[in-house]
A and B are shown apart, each in its own frame.
Chain A
C-alpha cells in the first residue's frame, strides 16, 4: 500500500465549478501536511499547508482529519489557470508525495 494515496483523476470541470480532491495517508505519526501544485513538465510548487483546524487561502480550502488520516482540498469558482496536477504531501521524517490528481478546467 502506498503511504499517500490520491484519486489520479483526471477531473474535467467547467469554469466556475467547485471541485474537491481527497487524499489518505498510512502513517499515523505524520506531522505535517501540504498540497503542492505541479504544472505539466514543471516542478512542484507549494500551494498551501494543511492545518488541523482547516485553513483557507482565497478560493482554496484545505481540511485535515487526523483520526481518519484524510486530507482534502476544495477549489471554488475554478479558473482555467487552476488546470494542473495537485500533489498531496505528508511529512514524518521526510516528505512523502502522492502520485497526484490531475485537474482540467474547461471554458
Chain B
C-alpha cells in the first residue's frame, strides 16, 4: 500500500463550488505539505504543517485553507473554486529533519 494517499485522484468542478482534497499518510511523519504544480512553474507550496497544532502559509495560500485533523491527515479546501486553480495538487510528508519529501500520487483538478 502507498505511504501517502490522496483522494480524489481526479476532480472536475464548477466556478464557485467548495471542494476538499484529502491526504493521508502511514509514514508516521510530523510534517505535511500541500503543493500545486502548473506547467512551466514547477511546484509551489500552498500550506504546510509541522504538527497537528501548527499550520503555516506557503508561497501561494490565497484562496485556499487547510485542516490538520490528525498526524496522519491533512486536507486542502478551495472555498470558492476559480478556473486559475486548475492544476495538479500534491500532498507531501517529511520527517522532522525535513530533508526528504515523500509525495502522494497527486490530484488533477479542473475548474470550469
A 28-46 to B, binary, CB cutoff 8 A, 1 in contact else 0: 0000101000000111111
A21 within 8 A of B: no
The contact of A94 among B40, B45, B100, B104, by CB within 8 Å, is: B45
Nearest-CB residue, chain B, relative to A46 = B100
Structural contact, A99 and B40, CB atoms closer than 8 A:
yes
Which of B33, B58, B103 interacts with A45 by CB under 8 Å?
Answer: B103
Q: Are B105 and A42 in contact (CB under 8 A)?
A: yes
Provided the pairs A91-B98, A94-B48, A94-B58 are in contact, do residues A44 and B40 lie with their beta carbons within 8 angstroms? no
The docked-state distance in angstroms from the alpha carbon of A32 to that of B100 is 10
Cβ B42 vs Cβ A97 within 8 A: yes
Q: How far is the CB of B79 from chain A (nearest CB, A)?
A: 23
In chain B, residues 55-80, which have Cβ atoms closer than 8 Å to a Cβ of chain A? 58
Classify chain A: how many residues form its interface, as a range: 20 to 34
Instruction: Count B-side interface residues using an 8 Å CB cutoff.
Output: 19
Q: B43-60 vs A: 1/0 string, CB under 8 Å?
A: 111001000000000100
The proximity string for B residues 80-104 relative to A, scoring 1 for CB distances below 8 Å and 0 otherwise, is: 0000000000100000001111011
Return chain B residues, CB-CB under 8 Å to A46: 100-101
B12 within 8 A of A: no
49-86 of chain A: CB within 8 A of chain B: 49
Q: State how many angstroms separate the Cβ of A6 from the closest Cβ of chain B.
A: 8
Known: A94-B48, A94-B58. A44 touches B43 (CB 8 A): yes
Chain B residues proximal to chain A, CB less than 8 Å: 33, 35, 40-45, 48, 58, 90, 98-101, 103-106
* Interface residues, chain A, with chain B CB atoms under 8 Å away: 2, 4, 8, 32, 34, 41-46, 49, 87, 91, 94-100
